[in-house]
Amino acid sequence: MSKLPKIIWSKIDEAPALATYSLLPIVNAFTQAAGVEVVERDISLAGRVLASQGLATDELSKLGEVVLEADGNIIKLPNISASVGQLIDCITELQGQGYDIPNYPENPENADEEATQAKYAGCLGSAVNPVLREGNSDRRAAKAVKRFAQKNPHRLKAFPENPKSYVAHMEGKGDFYANEKSVVCDKNQKVTIALNGNTLTTIDAVASEILDGTFMSIAALNTFYAKTIADAKTNDVLWSLHLKATMMKISDPIMFGYGFTAFFKDVFAKHQDTLDSLNVNPNMGMSDLEKKIEGHAKEAEIKADFLAALESDSPALAMVDSDKGTTNFNASNDVIIDASMPVVVREGGKQWDRNGDALECVAVIPDSTYGMFHAEMVADCVANGQYDVTTMGTMQNIGLMAQKAEEYGSHPTTFELEEAGTVTVTSEDGTVLMSHECEAGDIWRMSRTKDIPIKDWVRLTVERTRIEGIPAVFWLDENRAHDAEVKKKVDVYLKDHDTSGLDIQFMNVTNATRFTNARIRKGENTIAVTGNVLRDHLTDMYPILELGTSAKMLSIVPLLAGGGLYETGAGGSAPKHVDQFLAEGHLRWDSLGEILALAESLRFIGNKHDDADLKALTEALDAANNAYLDNSKEPGRKVGQPDNKASHFFVAQYWAEALSKGSSPKLAEKFVPVAKALKDNEDKIIEELLAVEGKAQDIGGYFHPNDELASKAMRPSATLNAIIDAI
């Protein structure tokens, strides 16, 4: 047994999971030499599906206990936040592998099917993050990564002259922002949410936590959609809808469905009876509709009508994949706003039409609580032109997310109202804390933000502001009910800290975006202090513009109990990477995010336990990361170029070389021959790795790969394997 705490490495999904088969054996060979064991725990979608049916250990629940331990240490890779469609595909794959599990009942017809749906419900959406994030977020670019990006700038396309691109979000009455009410709970108690006196759910509220209630008017949403479609036609721009049906797993699929039906209004009206008879749910998108109508007598007619609508005088519709004819409405989870909106900015305000041409667009974002951020990002570039990667400053983020703060849609307090009437939030003594008058079909939601996370958020902000010596801005809008209550608490908790000499300000979303962008354009750095939802958007937008990807950000979560959670960036492009790997044996996923997270994880243990060998191991990994960047060893994008597997080899080579010259005599002695073997055999190893390029790979499954097949595919160099396995 190791005398030092273990590091838990999450087994997850898609490209990062494939990369783990190559990277983790290298990691363990090096860390075990310093007394640290890295163990894998399966929280993949497939693992969670099997656990929900009692066929696998519920590793996610176990990790929920680890994050409450003083020495808890988890490296969390990007996981699938599953839509219903992805869940069904995963279940089908597992059934094909011989697992006796039931189908997912989309429309339960009896108690057994309701129970099955309830078991699977825990696998949908952002199921992992709320369990593991028992701390607030500290996200920033490592200095070496930022320096590399400036020296090797990726391309940001210029906005055209007299640009027409813009963001449309709801304004005035009707959306979540306008309807929000907020209260602070005065004691621990049960709080009931009801519609017309009929209980929707009851929660165990905690003293001093902030409870918010709000709703989206479906009538106002439909009016908004109709206006943006008409405006897009008038302005001759693409129409594109940007939502987040993965995290906002209740509200956003519904808004997606209304957008789908609004754009194809006449087609749905013409075929409504047929579509209803086939249980077509617009919230599931075109891909599900096509499955439901397959073989029906009107299949060809319905498809022809949808195509005719695209070819008519309607505005052009943005495409997910022009080559495959996949529109923005293929599935609700195809377009994830925090990944798709940075592309709009990066591409000069453009997206792609049916012909594969990049055209200016109106980006449609109903929810103004974060739509205002994206509107200002596009407006800034329209007014001032594209950013200069070689000189632009950086945005760091301190995000409030501990204990499920602001987890809209990731908890059971979001409802599609079945009837018109009054939604009430009532304390256990019968006091009505807030109420809303709603119509049938409106989306009502609650978010909760506990007091302890806010205290820690303020502490972390003061700490990072003093370390960095740059301005920090709390993105809090006093005209928004939730933000006003949060600001009251922040004002109090700031007095607990020495803020002398620190520049800490408060601004609404629009002004904070303008302030941050003006500084970035001057090469200056700023800390954005935001709630959980804006954290998600900012920490994809700015890194994609600054670094070319959000996967290279340091994403550190100092856990409230004293441990650490180290997240490794976004996996939005991971499905395309897997497709390429299966077809060509080439994985272009860059594991730098995982390697940076590992360095921070090791540093945490070394500092906490004052272990000289571990500090030497960490210093050597820092040196390896710098060498990896300085020598441009990131994976190539095209088949035949060194890929992810080769990048892991170079990390191992640089790490061993640094250890052989490092501060630990024990580790230096051990790694001198390793460094020599890796250097002497470099040409042979690269040749063996490149030998599999261009060859299709069978790993036994997309959601649930066969470990033996996947390991064989990702470790094709016998020479490298022998050196690593002998350490």
Question: Do residues 703 and 13 touch, judged by C-beta distance below 8 A?
Answer: yes
Q: Output the pLDDT for position 409.
A: 60
pLDDT, tens digit, for every residue of 595-634?
999 999 999 999 888 899 999 999 999 999 999 999 999 9
The Cα diameter of the chain in Å comes to 78
DSSP state of 401: -
DSSP letter for each residue of 215-233: EE-HHHHHHHHHHHHHHHH
* Sign of the dihedral defined by the CA atoms of residues 24, 29, 31, 35, in that order: positive
Smallest Cα–Cα separation from 348: which of 159, 161, 542, 167?
A: 159
Alpha helices in 469-560 (DSSP H): 481-494, 509-521, 532-547
Q: Output the pLDDT for position 592.
A: 93
Q: Output the pLDDT for position 571.
A: 57
* Token output for 53: 């049916």
Cβ neighbours of residue 100 closer than 8 Å, sequence gap 6 or more: none
Q: Output the pLDDT for position 591.
A: 94
Segment 205-216 shows an average pLDDT of: 96
Binned at pLDDT 50, 70 and 90, residue 342 comes out as very high
Residue 717 has pLDDT above 70, yes or no: yes
Domain ranges within the chain, ordered by starting residue? 166-174+218-384
Q: Output the pLDDT for position 567.
A: 92
Q: What are the angstrom distances between the C-alpha of 440 and each of 171, 175, 216? A: 21, 15, 11
Range scoring the smallest mean pLDDT among 195-199, 328-332, 365-369, 495-499: 328-332
pLDDT, tens digit, for every residue of 423-466?
999 999 999 999 999 999 999 999 999 999 999 999 999 999 99
* Token output for 313: 């005088």
Q: Output the pLDDT for position 320.
A: 85
Cβ neighbours of residue 165 closer than 8 Å, sequence gap 6 or more: 159, 237, 344, 348, 349, 350, 360, 361, 362, 363, 378, 382
Residue 1 has pLDDT above 50, yes or no: no
Range scoring the smallest mean pLDDT among 83-87, 295-299, 367-371, 493-497: 83-87
Cα end-to-end span (Å), the chain:
18
Q: How far apart are CA 435 and CA 314, in angstroms?
A: 40
Q: Give the start-end residues of each E strand in 253-390.
A: 319-321, 326-327, 350-352, 358-364
Higher pLDDT, 1 or 687: 687
Other C-beta atoms closer than 10 Å to the C-beta of 181 total 16
The answer to pTM > 0.85 is yes
pLDDT, tens digit, for every residue of 68-95?
999 999 999 988 888 888 999 999 999 9
